[in-house]
Structure formats: C-alpha cells, structure tokens
C-alpha cells in the first residue's frame, strides 16, 4: 500500500503543535540550573502490552473523558479512512505522518508512524480517546495490508499505554517538585523515561519513535553540564562543546540551531569576563567553538560595538555639559544638543540612538 499523504506547502500543518513529546532542558541563565520535561499528563498507569499479543486499550484514564464519551464514540458513524467528519482543529490540514509496509508485508518502522499517531491524538478533548483510536485504526486498515495493519494497531495500543504511564510518572514527580532542578536530577528523569520506553517498545521501535529526540536530549544535557562546570576555563569549555557537536550524527549536527551557538557563545563570554580572561583567551575559546572565520567576524563586531559605545559615551558627556551650562536658555540648550547630535551621527545612527534612549528610559523604575 502507498504511504499516507504528508504535509503540503499550501496547507496548514499541525507539525509544529504535534512535536510536543520533547524533553526540554532549558539553557543556563545567571548560573541557575533550569530544566524541565515536556507534556506530562495526568492519568493512571496501564500495564504494558506485550509486543506480540497486546490487545486494544479503552480510554482507561489516559485522558479523562466525559462519562458518555465512550457511548458517543460507539454510536458514531462507522469509519472507513479515519478522516470522515474531522473536528474543526484538523479541518483543512493534510495528514502529518505516514504508514508503509515493507516488501514482506510488515509494518515499516520510522518516525512518521509516530507522527501519524500524534496527528490524530491531537483530537483528544474534541473527541473521546476511544473515537480517536477508531479513527487511527480505520486509517491504518485503509492504508496497510492486513499483517502490517495488525502490527500498527498493536504498536498504537502500546503507544497509548506508554503515554498513559508517562503521564502518571510525570504527575507523581511534579507533586512537590522544586521549580528548578539540578542537571543530575534532569539526567535521572531522562533515565527513568528511557526505562519506561523499554517496558513498552522493542529496541527497533524505540529507535524509530524516540531515537532522534533522545540523542538531542543527551547532547543538550551534556552541553549544559560543560557550561556549568566551574573547574573549566572558557577555552576548555569551548573545546568540549565542539567535541560534543562533532560527535553528533551529520544530519543532527547540521540541524543544530543558531540559538544554541549563540547561547554557548554568550555563556563562554560571560565566563571569560567573570574570570578576568585575556583577549587571547576569548579569541581561543571562540576559535574552538565556531572556527577562525566566524571568530574574525565576531571580533570585527566587537570592535564596531566598542566604537559605537565610545561615540555614544562622548555624545552623552557633551550633552551633559550643555545641560549643566546655566548661561544657556532652554531653547539654546535644545539647539546645542541637536547640533551635537546631528554632527556626531548619521540619520540612520540617530534612529538607533533614539531606540537606545527609549530603551534606557523604559528600564528606569
């Protein structure tokens, strides 16, 4: 059978909303140890479903539905594709994810299967879970041969049980949890989540469903551990950060965000300042992290910023002198300040100066 449709350019996608099964380890700010885990849902733990024999699950508390939700689902019209009469939130969207069978008629495991499950599960709340499950099963049966469809249904039920157990685990940990966690505590939670996944999925299924995000999470945790290591100088931190990035798979290394690099550079610069480092130490740290070409651009930017700051400081000093001159009338002061401003800055720079002045004024209590 052919794969399901994937998100098209001209059609609104649910992809951004559906990528919610992520552990988020927050970046370090002012030495705080901040971390969090995403999408912890309340619920009751369902027993793991055997990979070979597990059967369908009912709503069973994964999401609390109304008392008549199951009845509504059972009395609703039969589904052939799962796409009939979609609730409003999915109307006008293409299916996110796909399912395929391999040459032997078995389900092909990849992340797109999980994406498909998530696409429909976003409906929970608009429809009871039992009805959403019916939609997914109908979609699977309409796009896969019998063997692959049966395997996909079994995987779906274990995925639901896993999410239910994860919600229970997260709810228990959230009760009384501090607003911030140490990196060690975050690492422990990551290990707990990995252990939970091992209860519900085979190694191949875990890799297909969670492999990319687990690699990203471990990289992020290692990265923040380096940044928090007070025994390392800026150059050593930069070297270790570069080693961590170089150890990633090529496709993941290519996807590292500019925000990550910016945060690392900012943290290294702050660390360098706190330690009273030399300009050469900052140069070496930047070369380790982003290479010589980017370092040269950063240093040129540093010079431009320093020159701008000096010009602003000179203007403010002269402006203060004019303001303090008691021999001048108010109109003469305004005229003199305007002359100083016009002679010191270009029209574009004066706009920048106005923004700076406004920001300074807004920052005052």
pLDDT tens digits, one per residue of 52-95: 334 434 343 444 443 344 445 545 678 998 899 899 999 989 99
- Alpha-carbon distance of 339 to 192, in angstroms, equals 66
Task: Report which listed range, 39-43, 45-49, 207-211, is most confident.
Answer: 207-211
Among 150, 162, 158, smallest CA distance to 51 is for 158
Q: What is the pLDDT of residue 308?
A: 92
Q: Please report where in the chains the tokens 């508390």 appear, as a residue.
A: 61
pTM, two decimal places: 0.60
Percent of the chain at pLDDT exceeding 90: 44
- Reduce the DSSP state of residue 124 to 3 states and report it: strand
**More reliable by pLDDT, 169 or 14:** 169
User: Residues 220-267: pLDDT tens digits?
Assistant: 899 889 988 989 888 888 889 888 888 888 878 777 767 778 888 888
Calculate the average pLDDT of the chain: 78
User: Residues 147-171: pLDDT tens digits?
Assistant: 999 999 999 999 999 999 998 876 6
- Alpha-carbon distance of 96 to 114, in angstroms, equals 10
CA atoms within 13 A on the CB side of 282: 18
Percent of the chain at pLDDT exceeding 70: 75
- Residues 6 or more apart in contact with residue 37 via CB below 8 angstroms: 23, 24, 170, 186, 189, 193
């Amino acid at each position: 059978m052919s794969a399901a449709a994937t998100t098209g350019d001209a059609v609104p996608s649910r992809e951004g909303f559906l990528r919610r099964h992520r552990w988020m380890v927050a970046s370090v700010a002012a030495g705080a140890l901040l971390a969090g885990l995403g999408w912890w849902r309340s619920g009751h733990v369902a027993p793991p479903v055997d990979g070979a024999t597990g059967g369908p699950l009912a709503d069973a508390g994964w999401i609390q539905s109304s008392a008549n939700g199951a009845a509504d689902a059972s009395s609703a019209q039969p589904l052939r594709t799962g796409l009939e009469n979609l609730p409003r939130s999915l109307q006008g969207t293409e299916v996110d994810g796909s399912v395929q069978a391999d040459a032997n008629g078995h389900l092909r495991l990849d992340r797109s299967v999980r994406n498909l499950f998530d696409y429909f599960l976003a409906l929970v709340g608009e429809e009871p879970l039992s009805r959403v499950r019916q939609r997914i099963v109908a979609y699977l049966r309409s796009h896969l041969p019998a063997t692959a469809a049966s395997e996909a249904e079994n995987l779906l039920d274990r995925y639901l049980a896993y999410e239910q157990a994860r919600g229970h685990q997260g709810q228990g940990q959230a009760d009384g949890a501090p607003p911030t966690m140490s990196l060690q505590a975050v690492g422990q939670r990551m290990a707990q989540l990995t252990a939970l996944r091992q209860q519900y999925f085979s190694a191949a299924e875990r890799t297909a469903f969670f492999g990319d995000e687990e690699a990203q999470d471990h990289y992020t945790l290692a990265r923040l551990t380096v940044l928090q290591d007070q025994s390392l100088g800026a150059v050593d931190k930069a070297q270790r950060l570069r080693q961590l990035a170089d150890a990633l798979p090529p496709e993941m290394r290519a996807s590292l965000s500019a925000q990550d690099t910016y945060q690392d550079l900012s943290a290294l610069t702050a660390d360098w300042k706190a330690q009273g480092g030399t300009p050469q130490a900052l140069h070496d740290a930047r070369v380790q992290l982003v290479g010589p070409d980017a370092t040269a651009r950063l240093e040129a930017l540093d010079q431009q910023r320093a020159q701008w700051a000096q010009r602003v400081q000179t203007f403010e000093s002269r402006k203060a002198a004019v303001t303090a001159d008691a021999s001048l009338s108010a109109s003469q002061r305004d005229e003199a300040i305007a002359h100083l401003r016009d002679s010191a800055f270009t029209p574009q720079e004066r706009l920048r100066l106005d923004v700076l002045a406004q920001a300074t004024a807004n920052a005052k209590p």
